[in-house]
Amino acid sequence: MSPPRQLLANVVTVLAVPPALLTLFGRCGSWHWLADQCSHFPAQYGLSLLLAAVVLLLARRWRTALLLLAFAAVDGWQLVPLFTATPPQGAAGGGQVRAMHSNVMSDNDDHATLLATIRAAAPDFFAACEVTPAWQRSLDTLRDLYPHAITHATDDCFGIVLYSRHPLRDAAVIPLGFAWAPAIRAVVQTPHGDLGVLAVHTPRPGDRRNTMQRDQALAAIGSAIAPLPAARLVIGDLNVTRWSAPFQDLLFAAQLHDTADGAGWQPTWPTDVPSLLRIPIDQALVSSGIGVTHRRVGPYIGSDHLPLVVDLVLPAAQ
């Protein structure tokens, strides 16, 4: 091997060490909050390891290349359900409703784009977070289509709202672990039956304290949805991906199913980087008996998040 190629192979090997170690570290999220912070990027780790392995294969560094391919396979295996898993299935005969969520970003002043996106998507109901009083005034212009609403606009990042075409019952703003980061809980009385909805924006992780606050909010979701009807939807910016241990704990404890199964690669944040570098932290989770016929992310709306739109099939009315 020529010296330049040997140098390139050495450099690539060194650069591949961090994503390989982070792949392993991220699988230990239930042991330490910092490991959990590393769990959200299997696509990015896997892609970088795959590229490094290709370079090393061309350089005939067989053993190192195969080792990196093994690490890349660990990352890739975590992505497989996004493309192969069966979406949650509902019973035949149920009616379809469309739900939408968007983190509007509090300082985003492009209100017109989101309003047009909502009108184009035509959901039965939509939730939004980071809603300021200015954002609420804009969203209130949709009252001709969505006359039923519960709103909690704030000047910080934890304003939250729910607008619906259909009547809302037992609608309330409730604390989700913390009063300053509330959720909205309501029963949407659709023509196909009642659907319990919890619209969520958990605290953003970062350091140990913030990550623990997010995990506390996630853990509170189970008790928050307990008063709702059996058909339930949790939707919002959960500030967590499906590969995180607290997220998996939430699914198990609250008996919810991830609508991302079989939906493909649908990252939502941050919008200022290419899709392959984003992660899916906006979630829609459903109870057993609710089917998912389609799930997609919406267009860019000026926010650092993309909207999320989910078509659901409710259990057939008894």
pLDDT in tens, 1-59: 567 778 877 888 889 999 999 999 999 888 999 999 999 999 999 999 999 999 999 98
d(CA 201, CA 183): 7
d(CA 107, CA 71): 40
Provide the pLDDT confidence category of residue 226 given band limits of 50, 70 and 90: very high
DSSP state of 265: -
Asked if 139 and 133 touch (Cβ cutoff 8 Å), the reply is: no
* Helix/strand/coil for 286: strand
d(CA 11, CA 101): 43
pLDDT digits 0-9 by tens, 54-74: 999 998 899 999 999 999 999
What does the pLDDT read at residue 12? 84
Sheet of 168-175: strand order equals: 168-175, 182-190, 193-201, 232-237, 282-287, 256-258
Mean pLDDT score of the chain, rounded to an integer?
94
Nearest to 304 by CA among 108, 77, 74, 114: 108
Provide the pLDDT confidence category of residue 317 given band limits of 50, 70 and 90: low
d(CA 160, CA 181): 9
The answer to pTM > 0.85 is yes
CATH class of the domain defined by 96-313? alpha beta
Mean per-residue pLDDT, 178-190: 96
Q: Which of 21-30, 46-55, 125-134, 303-312 has the lowest mean pLDDT?
A: 21-30
CA-to-CA dists, residue 225 to 9, 43, 73, 272, angstroms: 53, 31, 37, 34
Q: How buried is residue 128: exposed, middle or buried, by Cβ count under 10 Å (0-12/13-18/19+)?
A: buried
What does the pLDDT read at residue 252? 96
d(CA 29, CA 215): 12
d(CA 77, CA 82): 10
CA-to-CA dists, residue 247 to 191, 199, 224, 255, angstroms: 32, 16, 16, 12
d(CA 131, CA 128): 7
**In the chain, where does the domain assigned CATH 3.60.10.10 lie?**
96-313
- Give Cβ neighbours of residue 238 (< 8 Å, ≥ 6 apart): 200, 202, 218, 247, 281, 282, 283
